[in-house]
């Protein structure tokens, strides 16, 4: 049995706490400052990210569990039939290749970091001994254990890359205005000259093609009985004098359950002030990613300290490390740009065999995978996932 010492002395209402956990090699010290930010001090990299995962689960378990379900296509299992479209899309775009090869494509220590991080999450879940945290009681399900591969889900990237609808709009514009005007008013980025492939009728490219996609990336709402549980006014203390969940707790759970993914109308900016105009003589990086203000927040701030590591900043709570912040020498961040990152292909099917499509002058079999999606309160929903060399079939 190894020891993780979580020192929460910075908060006036908290004292030092020692937590004994399996999974770490050396004691880890965690200090919470007055803003609730954990500063994690570990003797090695593996223990550092194990502790980060543990704290992410301790602070945001319900949020990261929902995000994981979004990424892996398992929302309907806890939210019901309304989440089926999103689950179908998540499973369609999910990684289908060799995981060993996938891990090798990352930096050499990525697998160790992600495995340690998810190990920390699982350690916290096991420490609950089957007791449901408040949000899970309200939603009516238990948190499940994580696999390292859960952190590599593709769905988050798709939700952040929203130019598929622009592909449809560009085709409609080309049909109505012609290619020259479309190139002027809706130029591809990076720019390429627009051409209509021989045999393609632009009238076939309509918003209906991405109807399932549009439904899948929209907000997911609670089932009526879940909304009811979250809207019941707080009653008198329960058995043993324990207070029943009050309005702030219910609002927290309600916002976390309402998985919003729409990014319409949002932007961001990223800029640097030259060192000649600062007090320190060093440049300053300003990073403003324009994320919605929610409770819980879309990011989680953490300070990571271990041999070879000393960085503070914010990142997705369900992923190890930080995405925007600084170490002792470098500040880093990101901003939204208008790149064309999604392509919409119109495949030609074989009239004699709808399970084949035309590719490089020959008929090629579609990759077909049959799966089932568990649905809360109903029977499993069978799904057929079809893929071409260009990606998943969405219509």
Domain definitions of the chain by residue range: 2-160+217-235+244-332, 343-395
pLDDT tens for the chain, residues 1 to 395: 344 444 443 443 456 888 888 889 999 999 999 999 999 999 999 999 999 999 999 999 999 999 999 889 999 999 899 889 889 888 888 877 788 999 999 999 999 999 999 999 999 999 999 899 999 998 899 999 999 999 988 766 666 666 788 888 888 888 888 898 888 888 877 788 888 888 888 888 888 888 777 777 766 665 555 554 544 444 343 333 444 444 544 443 444 444 433 334 567 888 999 999 999 999 999 998 887 788 888 899 999 999 999 999 999 999 999 999 999 999 999 887 767 778 889 999 999 999 999 999 999 999 999 999 999 989 999 999 999 999 999 88
For residues 35 and 52, give the distance between their C-alpha atoms in angstroms, rounded to a whole number: 17
CATH of domain 343-395: 2.30.120.10
pLDDT for the residue 206: 87
For residues 270 and 285, give the distance between their C-alpha atoms in angstroms, rounded to a whole number: 8
CATH of domain 2-160+217-235+244-332: 1.10.439.10
Residues sharing a CB contact under 8 Å with residue 189, sequence separation 6 or more, in sequence order: 338, 339, 340
Are the beta carbons of 244 and 138 closer than 8 angstroms? no
Query: What predicted TM-score, i.e. pTM, was given to this entire model?
Result: 0.81
Nearest to 348 by CA among 366, 374, 331: 366
Nearest to 132 by CA among 245, 268, 262: 245
pLDDT for the residue 251: 45
């Amino acid at each position: 049995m190894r020891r993780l010492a979580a020192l929460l002395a910075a908060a006036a209402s908290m004292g030092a706490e020692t937590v004994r956990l399996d999974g770490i090699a050396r004691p880890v010290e965690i200090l919470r400052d007055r803003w609730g930010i954990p500063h994690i001090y570990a003797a090695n990299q593996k223990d550092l990210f194990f502790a980060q995962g543990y704290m992410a689960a301790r602070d945001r378990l319900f949020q990261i569990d929902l995000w994981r379900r979004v990424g892996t296509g398992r929302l309907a299992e806890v939210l019901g039939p309304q989440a089926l479209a999103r689950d179908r899309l998540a499973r369609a775009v999910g990684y289908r290749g060799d995981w060993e090869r996938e891990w090798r494509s990352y930096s050499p220590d990525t697998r160790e970091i992600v495995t340690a991080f998810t190990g920390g999450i699982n350690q916290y879940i096991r420490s609950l001994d089957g007791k449901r945290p408040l949000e899970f009681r309200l939603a009516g399900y238990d948190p499940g254990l994580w696999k390292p591969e859960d952190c590599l889900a593709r769905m988050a990237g798709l939700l952040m890359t929203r130019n598929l609808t622009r592909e449809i709009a560009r085709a409609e514009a080309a049909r109505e205005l012609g290619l020259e005007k479309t190139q002027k008013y809706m130029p591809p980025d990076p720019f390429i000259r627009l051409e209509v492939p021989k045999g393609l009728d632009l009238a076939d490219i309509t918003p209906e093609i991405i109807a399932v996609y549009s439904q899948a990336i929209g907000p997911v709402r609670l089932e009526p009985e879940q909304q009811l549980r979250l809207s019941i006014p707080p009653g008198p203390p329960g058995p043993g004098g324990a207070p029943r969940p009050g309005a702030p707790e219910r609002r927290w759970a309600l916002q976390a359950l309402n998985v919003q993914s729409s990014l319409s109308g949002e932007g961001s900016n990223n800029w640097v002030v030259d060192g000649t105009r600062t007090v320190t003589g060093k440049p300053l990086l300003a990073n403003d990613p324009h994320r919605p203000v929610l409770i819980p927040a879309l990011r989680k701030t953490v300070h990571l300290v271990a041999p070879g590591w000393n960085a503070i900043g914010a990142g997705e709570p369900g992923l190890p490390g930080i995405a925007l912040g600084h170490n002792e020498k470098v500040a880093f961040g990101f901003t939204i740009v208008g790149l064309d990152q999604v392509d919409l292909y119109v495949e030609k099917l074989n009239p004699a065999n709808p399970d084949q499509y035309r590719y490089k002058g020959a008929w090629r079999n579609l990759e077909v995978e049959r799966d089932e999606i568990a649905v809360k309160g109903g029977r499993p929903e069978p799904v057929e996932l079809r893929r071409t060399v260009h990606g998943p079939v969405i219509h």
